[in-house]
Amino acid sequence: MAPLGLTGERYISHRATKFDKQGRKDAGSGKGGTRAVAFEVGPPDASESLIRRHPPRKFQRLEDQQQGNTITQEKLEEKQATAERRRQEILTQRVQSAKHRSATRMRPHPDDADEVEKVRHGKF
């Protein structure tokens, strides 16, 4: 079988060793039994590709979905409003999280209070 990259070229089996100018096994080699296989691989039909002739099921489903879904101005505005609400919720959560983190940083840790007392009394 010819490799896929060889189109419009002569492909000769790798088993045969000696060939004449036409690609046939040399008759004077003296060995019998092994025959070369040679055939022409024509160029592919450029008018229509294999995928277009037999599209994958995934593409067929996508085409069916696209035909049924027409985007109207109302649907688009509704989707944008939903996305904006989600953005605002996420932003609010981030602000609350940042406030919570900064509040926990500002609170003195109990171990820190002992160190401050030691420094004040010169024991450190």
Q: In terms of pLDDT, which residue wins out, 16 or 20?
A: 20
Give residue 12's pLDDT: 53
Q: Is 49 inside any structural domain?
A: no
- DSSP structure class, residue 30: -
Q: Which pair of tokens denotes residue 28?
A: 């004077």
Q: How far apart are CA 105 and CA 64, in angstroms?
A: 56
Strand pairing report for 10-12 and 38-40: antiparallel
Convert the pLDDT of each residue in 84-101 to its tens digit. 999 999 999 999 999 999
98 domain-assigned: yes
CA angle 71, 79, 85 (to 5 degrees): 175
Average per-residue pLDDT for the chain: 73
pLDDT score recorded for residue 111: 63
Q: Is residue 62 part of a domain?
A: no
Count the domains in the chain. Answer: 2
Question: Does residue 78 share a domain with residue 40?
Answer: no
| Domain interval for residue 84 | 74-120
For the cut 50, the answer to whether the pLDDT of residue 16 exceeds it is no
3-state secondary structure of 39: strand
Q: What would the pLDDT profile of 40-76 be if each residue is shown by its tens digit?
A: 776 666 666 777 778 788 888 888 777 777 778 999 9
